[in-house]
Structure formats: C-alpha cells, structure tokens
Chains A and B, each alone.
Chain A
Amino acid sequence: MSRAKLAKVMSVLEVKFIGDGDALEHIVDKQEGVQSNSGSVQKMVTFKSPAGRRARADAEHDGDENGLLDEQNYIQALGTEEDEEGMSRVAGSSIFTFQKVKRGHSMAQTASELARTPGKNVTFSTTPNVEPSTPTRTGNNHRGESRTPQRKKKVQFVSTTPHRLRKRLTTPSIRSDSDSELSPSDSGEEEDEDGVEEQQTFKKEDKENSKTPRTPSKGLSAALYKTPAKKSKSTPDQPSMVEEYFEAHGSSKVLTSDRTLERLHTPKLDRETLVQLLEGKPSCYSEEIQQLHNKHRKHFSKWMLQLQLGFSVLVYGLGSKKALLEDFRVSQLGQEIHLVVNGFFPSITLKSILNALTCEALEHQGSFRTPSDQIQYISQTLKDSPDLHVYLLIHNIDGLMLRGEKTQSALGQLASLPNLHLVASLDHINAPLVWDQFQQSQFNWLWWECVTFQHYAEETSYENSLLVQQTGALALSSLTHVLRSLTPNARGIFQLLVKFQLENKDNPSYTGLSFQDFYQRCREAFLVNSDLTLRTQLTEFRDHKLIRTRKGADGVEYLMVAVDASTLMDFLENEEGD
C-alpha cells in the first residue's frame, strides 16, 4: 500500500500534463474574467465554483509572486522551468495542439532510456539519438525570450480590455489546432521552431484579430442568419468554442493515418520497467501539492457534519482524490463501520459491493436471490437499528463498471438511507450524465471541489495502454470495452464461445472448441455464412488477445478464451443485463 503511494507521488509527469491540456481546452472559456490575475499553480484551480475562487485567493496569500500570467505564458513557464530542472517536458505548444501520434511517440521516448536527457526531445526517428538536444535548447531559449515581451503585452491587455484578452486566449488554440492537423508529423526541430514562431505570430495576428472581427461583426449582424435578438445578446467568446467545434466537425472527411505505433518497432515496456523508470522523477510542485492537500484536509470535519445531516459528499477536481479520501477515512472514520469501494477496479460489480455490505458490515450469513432483495435487507436492517452508522467510501463512483443504470440506482437507494453515509469521488468529465434528477435527489450530493494534482497512479494502473505490455488475463472492463467496439455478430460469435467454455469449465480435459465445431455452431445461429468470415473474425479476436488457439494432437485447431471462468460469468451477466 505504502509502496503504491510512493510510486504515485513519483509517477508519470507526461500523463498528468496531457490531462491538464485536455482539461484546459474544455475550461478556458468558462473562466470568465478571473484568469487574468492568478498564480501559476492556481491557474489550474480556476474552474468556476466560488469554492475554487476562494482557494485561489488563499493560495495567493501564501506568497505566490509569479505575477500576472495568461494561459499561454503559464504553459510556457511550466515548460521552461521544467526544462531547467532537467526534465523533458511537453511544452505549451504541444498542450494546445492536438497531436496524438507525436505525443505518444514522445512518451515512448521519454519512458525509454532517453528519458533523462535534458531539453525538449521530440525526435521522431526510431533510433534513439541525442543530437537534437542542441537545437531544442535554442528553441527553449527562444521561448524564454519570447516570454518577456508577452508578459508586458499582457499587462496592457488586462488593464484595458479583459474581453479582448479572452479572445486572445482562445484564438491561439484554434490556430495551433489547425496547424497541427495540416502539418505532417515530421522532425521535432521543425516542429519546435514552428511552435515558437507560431506563438510569436499569434501575438501579432491576435492583435489584429481582436480588432478586425469587431468591425465586420457590427455590419454583419443585420445580415446574419440567426434571429437578430439572439445575436446581439450573445457574448463574443462563448461562440468561439462552439464555432471551434463546428469548424472541426464541418467536413465529413475523416483523416486517418497509417502511422501506427506498430511501425516504431520499439519493444513495449512491461509495467514494472515503466514504474521503475518513472520512479526517479520527483514532482516539481510536491510542496504546493502537499499544501493543497492540507487545505482540503481542513474541510474534513465539515464533511463529517454534512454526512450526519443526510448529505452525500462528492469530491471532484483534477488529480487523484484517492489519497485525500484515504486520509479522510483514516482521520475521521477510524472508529466507524466503513466500507471502501474501488470503483476503478476493473472487475468490481454491484454484487460484490452489496455482498461486502451484507457480509462484512452487517454480518449477515447467507445469500440473496436478487440485488433488490439485498438492498431491501440492508435498508431494513439499518432502519431497525438507527444507531448503526455505515460509511460507504467510493473511489471513482463513475468507474467503468459502476456507470450502469442499475448500479447507480442501487447506490442511490443505499445513499438515501438515513444512516448510510456516502463519500465518493468522480473523475470523468461527463460524469454528471450518470444521474438524472431522481437519482440526484436520492444521492443528495454536496459537490466539493478538491483539486489535488496528484497522479492517478493506482487508478490508471488497471488501464490498457498502447505503450505498455499487457500482463496476464484481460479484466472484465477491458473485455467489455473491446467487445463493445465490435459488431453485434462478432459479439454473438464470442458469446457462443464463452458459453461453450463455461459449460465445460468443470471438465479438466477440455482443451477448447475445435474450429469445425465452432463453425457449425455459428452457422446454426446465423452468425457467419462461410468459414472464411469466421476466420477473419477469429483473427480479430486474436489481435485483441481475446482468444487463444492451440493445435491439438490431431492437428485440429482448438479455440479457447483466455479469461478465467468467473470473469466470463460476470461478463455474460452484464451482457444480458444490457
């Protein structure tokens, strides 16, 4: 446990920053007028709630003297600072741009033995070389230079027109987006210089832009297609995000690339090596993160009070909230009956949560026919003994396995019990979609913004990554994830195999289903029309590591699902539930 915690503190810098970048894209235009005077760390905190604003104000008192920085500067500042500290980093430009392949590549390189070479290293050659470090340094210097004038300019903007500033803030991201789409991914040096040049040109262009759209907009407004009343009211920066969306989705052309990770020929790391490689990296803001953590800790007693008053506490924000909730558990719930649910765990089911509640917390022996019976029993037991308080702590209530309608309504029923208290954390950006009004009234959430900036070390450890080698059998969530992208017929074929395997699970001499037999069964179920289609389908399964084939003694192919029986059973249950 403690080891895992340690690993979390030291883990993947890249992962975190890309997350920030994505989050920024979403958030930028929502922070109205507040971003101008915020410190560099707290920049990220500024979402929308008054709580966040308060937190930021506090932080500024703590003595963050970074002065006024806009989004762009902040990112750049981060980039350069890190470079100075000898860490390879994703610079501001790459946060704004949308370049999946490149990023993945740089991650791979970072994680490999080149990880510690200083400077921004975005080379795309498959052979690791140290050469480009020199040009990139100059690039960094450029950035350092460009930073000072910007800051001056920015101060001007803030003082005069905050609106224009906001405009400026959003437009570069459009520009860089489109740029990165157009430019084929080539050498890192060019890219790097491009980025700097772009940023410099933005400044000029933006200055023009900030004026130019203004003049036509007045003239245009009458001729616009929208209802005039609407037009005049709409604020200038809101549509820019919307427009960005429509611009991006305007053409139906789908750009695909055949530059896959496979072409890199770099061997995949296994999990241990990755952790080991990343262990040596201390977080550069560990002190501030600790301060944030301590600040959130101060609210614990408030949470306890609110829980007693019948609310459920929901913790949201950037960064892993696991440590915080764990801290809460240790400090506040030490004497109480409590149950911790790891929602991010890929094989968690509603049944296991309810079983844990009835067996461990309520010490009930025996089984229940349905989950609703079980909930009925729990609510009855808690009603009968009003002095009994049970605390339910859910890390990632929006976890992949807990998202389902049934699971959430069951949790809602539990949360509405007066002496069962629920504390949960949430991470998905669309997470509120899970609850409709009725469920929200059941949960009775109090939303607490707790931005921790801590790494999702444990939460992401279960996830599939293209860069990391998979170890062991597939978990339930990855199984469902893979299967959901397949056609219904393919799912049917797989289910057929799963059912057959489950029927034979007690038979130790079972070696799998022979291809001919399988083909016969699929034909009968109208799933395939020729053995060629089945072969193609099986190849796809094999690519996803869903099945294993083995040549039997008689030279016949035998097919097996490489997942253990209990997972398969859960899988079938889930599929039928849908």
Chain B
Amino acid sequence: MAALLQHAGYEEERLLRVAQQMPCREVQAGMLLSLMGQPQQYSYPSIFIYGHRASGKSHVMHVLLKELELPHATVSCVECVSVALLFEQVLLSFFGCDAASLLPRSPSLSDFVRIYRQQCSQSPAKQTRYIVMEKAELLRDTDANLLPALLRLQELVEDNVTIILLSEIVWDKFRPNTGCFEPLLLHFPDYSKGELQQILSQDRHPSYTAEFYSSYINILLGVFYSVCRDLRELRHLAALNFSKFCEPLAEGKVKETDTHKLWRNIEPHLKKAMQTVYLREVSSLQWEQMQQMEEKESGALRGLSAHTHVELPYYSKFLLIAAYLASYNPARTDKRFFLKHHGKIKKTNFLKKNEKTSNHLLGPKPFPLDRLLAIFYSVVDNRVAPTASIFSQISSLVTLQLLTQVSHDDQLDAPKYKCAVSMDFICAISRTVNFDIVKYLYDFL
C-alpha cells in the first residue's frame, strides 16, 4: 500500500503516515508527489485537480502539504469575494503580516505581483511554495485576467511557486477565450462501493466489533448506494442511524452475529430516513430526538415541505387563484370558462389534442395584468372595486414570490406576471374560499 508512495525527497515514516490518512487515494497521492518532486525542485506551474464532490481532493492536498510540512497557502475562492482578500491571504501565509499590510486599499494584480517579488527576494524559496485554490470555478467570475495570471504565476514572480486548482468542473469550462497557460490536469475518480465500504468501516464504534459495524455499513450502502455516493452524506447517515441499529442488541433480543434480524429491524427505518433526513425535511437533531422517543413514529413529524399552507387575505387568495387560472389556461379558452353566454363552443374545437395535458407540464405562462383582473372579477363572488389595495396586493404577491413579474420593462403600462405556486398549494387555497378550481382548469376538463 505504502509502496506507491515511495519518494526520494521525504522520509519513510512520514509517507507511511500520509498513506494511512488517505485510504483508497494512494494512486492519486503518489502521482501528486511525483509531480511535486523533491522540495527544492521546481514543480509544474499549475496543477488542475478535478473530480466529483467528496472524492477527497481537498483532503489529499491538505494531508500531503501538512504532513510533509511544505510551505503552502490554502485559499477558498468562496470566501474571497474580492481579489484583495485572495492576495492578502496568500501573502499572509507565505510572508507573514508585514507583507500583507503592504497591499494598497484596492490592490490590483500588479500590486500583488510587485509585493510578492519584493518579499521573495528578501526570503527566497528553499522549497516549492504551494497555493491551493479550493472551489476554483469561482475564479471564472472574477476579473478576466486573474485566472491566466495565476496559471503563470511562477513565471510572473520568478519564484518556485505552484498553483493547485481544485474544482468539480472540468477544465474545458475554465479556458478563457484568449487562451492561457494550460495546467496539468489530474482526475480524482469516484469511490467504488467497495472503497466506500472500506472508508466508512474505519470509523467504527469502540464498543462494538469491527465486523458488526462493517455489516451495518453494508446494510446502509445497500439501501442508499443507488441514490447517493457522496461519502460525507453517507457518513452522516451512518452516524445518525447507528444507535437505532444497536437498539435490539442493547435490549438483548439478538446477538451481534444475527445479521438477518438486525437487517429486518433497521431496513424500514433506513427507508424512512431516506425520505426525511436525506432530503433535509427533518433536521438531524429532530431525527435523533425521534429515535429517543419510542412511541413517536418517525413519519408523524411534519417535515418542512408539509408546511405549505400560507395564510393570505381574502382577495389575495382570489388574486392568486385568478393568476393560477391565467397562467395555466390558454387565453383562447377564457370565454368558455368565464363567460356566461359564450355561445356555442364545440367541444371538439375547444379541446385541441396537442394542447391537452401539456399545460401543467410546460409550466406557467405569462399573462397581462388586465387578464388577471378580468378573471379575478369573474371568480370573486361579490363586487370588488379596483382600489389601490387590490393593486398593492398584486405587487405584494410578487414580493412574496407567489407571483413573478416577467420582463421588467414596463411596471405600469402593461405588466406581465406568472404564477409561481404549485397545484397543491392553489388547491388548498381555493378550498379555504370554497372555490372549485379544478372545474376551471383546462387540463382537467
């Protein structure tokens, strides 16, 4: 295992320690180590590491740099909302506070390069310096010149420095229009099921045997592997449900080796967890509390998504209903639904094949304000004056994101809206005002 990490520049036991800390990533780590070379050697100017979420990119980089005690700066591009923060962090970790304070108020790239060169002439690099940029995809949104400059930083500052970019996105999406210095690409593949099993089994509970925990992980992966391969998510779920798994054991009903009974006990529980905790309907804390309380069924607690009921004023409800009707009914059919004496409309003409059933699949369509008001007046029971309050309720619905305004061109002359609520929501609303909305929907005719 550790044989893959053979390297001339570093001591044996250090490498061994490194290898222990990153199971199933020996190949990648060995590749990285050989790229980095010996500490005093010049390394490749920029390395681009990509792979799916939770495939150990940051972890491997962190362990390598930490254990081998290499000078490095780890920068998260999420934190660095401005380039100034980025520059400051790099200078801070390489040269200390004095260097960072030299930066002007809003530094440009050339300021950074100038100060870097000035500092590194005072303290030349004995080892390769590494700048690790996490979530590097955000670099694309900064100034256009930043990414190409970082890729050539070794050349610009004339120092032994290597940039390592970590991202979940492939390099092709990074390449600037004008081209740039191509970094070395390194891919971190996903963990296989066996690897996941191996990694997850490592953090076993001390009071139980390793085989017992491993069989638990096996069951867990059997349930969750089809929907989730994210190591962090699986680890979280494993920790969360383990106490439930051990429950029959603590009660003395089964033995540790009786896997089948344990499996039967935990399996429905895990399925429920998939529908609730995994989707964050129920928080982890609530889930743990539910496990404490025996009598309470874990489905009894209403999740976040069950709280779709919103209290609205009377006319707002009708406005929302009217908006929903306007969004999901073709304007052609308005006469049929809202006109008393619409004359003869043949059903065969009225129902067009291609239009049928597609309205709810295609999503809401925009409608003008006057159509909204016309439908509103026709669905609401009593006479409503078009007061300022009605109008401001429309804009309030927009503010509440129950409606959305399409095209911000014209706020007053002919504003267009879309209805942004779901079928269930509008059905609940119309039930409260005794309005049968399904009768008015073209799709359900």
B392 touches A246 (CB 8 A): no
At the interface, yes or no: B388 with Cβ under 8 Å from chain A?
yes
CB nearest neighbor in A for B389: A432
Residues in A with CB closer than 8 Å to B392 are 432-433, 435-437, 440
- Assembled-state Cα–Cα distance A531/B396 (Å): 46
Given contacts A242-B378, A430-B369, 8 further A-B contacts (CB under 8 A): A213-B341, A220-B340, A224-B340, A235-B382, A252-B331, A404-B411, A434-B395, A437-B393
Q: Which 7 A-B pairs have the closest CB atoms?
A: A432-B391, A432-B388, A436-B395, A245-B374, A436-B396, A484-B409, A250-B335
Residues in B with CB closer than 8 Å to A438 are 396, 399
**Chain A 227-267 interface 0/1 with B at a Cβ cutoff of 8 Å (1 = within):** 10110011100110111011101101000000000000000
Residues in B with CB closer than 8 Å to A227 are 435-436, 439
CB nearest neighbor in A for B375: A242
- Determine the interface band of chain A, counting residues with CB < 8 A from chain B: 35 or more
At the interface, yes or no: B277 with Cβ under 8 Å from chain A?
no
CB nearest neighbor in B for A405: B411
A404-B411, A430-B413 known; A447+B388 contact, CB < 8 A: yes
- Assembled-state Cα–Cα distance A89/B339 (Å): 36
CB nearest neighbor in B for A26: B386
A227-B435, A436-B398, A436-B399 known; A243+B340 contact, CB < 8 A: yes
How far does the Cβ of B12 sit from chain A's closest Cβ, in whole Å?
57
A220-B340, A578-B408 known; A433+B395 contact, CB < 8 A: yes
B336, B341, B382, B389 — most chain A CB neighbours (10 Å):
B341
A433 touches B391 (CB 8 A): yes
A239-B340, A250-B334, A484-B410 known; A48+B391 contact, CB < 8 A: no
A48, A246, A434, A484 — most chain B CB neighbours (10 Å):
A246
A30-B385, A252-B331 known; A433+B337 contact, CB < 8 A: no
Residues in A with CB closer than 8 Å to B408 are 578
A433 touches B411 (CB 8 A): yes
A229-B434, A233-B382, A430-B413 known; A249+B377 contact, CB < 8 A: no
CB nearest neighbor in A for B386: A30
- Assembled-state Cα–Cα distance A216/B340 (Å): 11
At the interface, yes or no: A431 with Cβ under 8 Å from chain B?
yes
How far does the Cβ of B178 sit from chain A's closest Cβ, in whole Å?
12
**Chain B 90-113 interface 0/1 with A at a Cβ cutoff of 8 Å (1 = within):** 000000000000000000000000
**Chain B 366-383 interface 0/1 with A at a Cβ cutoff of 8 Å (1 = within):** 000111001001110111
B374 touches A242 (CB 8 A): yes
At the interface, yes or no: A191 with Cβ under 8 Å from chain B?
no
- Assembled-state Cα–Cα distance A226/B436 (Å): 9
Contacts from A to B (Cβ < 8 Å): 30, 32, 48, 213, 216-217, 220, 224-227, 229-230, 233-235, 238-239, 241-243, 245-247, 249-250, 252, 398, 403-405, 428, 430-438, 440, 447, 484, 578
A246-B334, A430-B369, A435-B395 known; A32+B377 contact, CB < 8 A: no
A245 touches B411 (CB 8 A): no
At the interface, yes or no: B415 with Cβ under 8 Å from chain A?
yes
B336, B377, B382 — most chain A CB neighbours (10 Å):
B377
Task: Out of B331, B337, B381, B398, name the residue touching A230 (CB < 8 Å).
Answer: B381
- Assembled-state Cα–Cα distance A299/B393 (Å): 29
A225 touches B439 (CB 8 A): yes
At the interface, yes or no: B163 with Cβ under 8 Å from chain A?
no
Between-chain CB contacts (< 8 Å), 19 pairs: A30-B385, A32-B383, A220-B340, A225-B337, A225-B439, A233-B382, A239-B378, A242-B378, A243-B339, A246-B335, A246-B339, A430-B391, A433-B392, A433-B395, A435-B395, A437-B392, A437-B396, A440-B392, A484-B409
B412 touches A403 (CB 8 A): yes
How far does the Cβ of B380 sit from chain A's closest Cβ, in whole Å?
9
At the interface, yes or no: B139 with Cβ under 8 Å from chain A?
no
A249 touches B334 (CB 8 A): yes
- Assembled-state Cα–Cα distance A440/B392 (Å): 8
A238 touches B412 (CB 8 A): no
A225 touches B394 (CB 8 A): no
Q: Which of B104-126 contact A (CB under 8 A)?
A: none
Chain B interface main SS type: helix
Residues in B with CB closer than 8 Å to A247 are 335, 339
How far does the Cβ of A378 sit from chain B's closest Cβ, in whole Å?
25
- Assembled-state Cα–Cα distance A435/B412 (Å): 11
How far does the Cβ of A396 sit from chain B's closest Cβ, in whole Å?
12
A398 touches B383 (CB 8 A): no
Task: Out of B341, B390, B394, B412, name the residue touching A431 (CB < 8 Å).
Answer: B412
Residues in B with CB closer than 8 Å to A484 are 409-410
Residues in B with CB closer than 8 Å to A235 are 382-383
Residues in A with CB closer than 8 Å to B387 are 48, 432
CB nearest neighbor in B for A241: B377
At the interface, yes or no: B332 with Cβ under 8 Å from chain A?
yes
Residues in B with CB closer than 8 Å to A440 are 392
Residues in B with CB closer than 8 Å to A220 are 340-341
How far does the Cβ of B439 sit from chain A's closest Cβ, in whole Å?
7
At the interface, yes or no: B338 with Cβ under 8 Å from chain A?
yes
CB nearest neighbor in A for B414: A430
- Assembled-state Cα–Cα distance A261/B198 (Å): 81
- Assembled-state Cα–Cα distance A435/B395 (Å): 7
Residues in A with CB closer than 8 Å to B334 are 246, 249-250
How far does the Cβ of A460 sit from chain B's closest Cβ, in whole Å?
16
B394 touches A433 (CB 8 A): yes
How far does the Cβ of B416 sit from chain A's closest Cβ, in whole Å?
12
Task: Out of A216, A243, A398, A436, name the residue touching B412 (CB < 8 Å).
Answer: A398
CB nearest neighbor in A for B393: A437
Q: Which of B340-386 contact A (CB under 8 A)?
A: 340-341, 369-371, 374, 377-379, 381-383, 385-386
Residues in B with CB closer than 8 Å to A447 are 388
Residues in B with CB closer than 8 Å to A226 are 340
CB nearest neighbor in B for A431: B412
A434 touches B337 (CB 8 A): no
A238 touches B395 (CB 8 A): no
Task: Out of A48, A245, A405, name the residue touching B385 (CB < 8 Å).
Answer: A48
Residues in A with CB closer than 8 Å to B410 are 484
- Assembled-state Cα–Cα distance A428/B387 (Å): 13
CB nearest neighbor in B for A235: B383
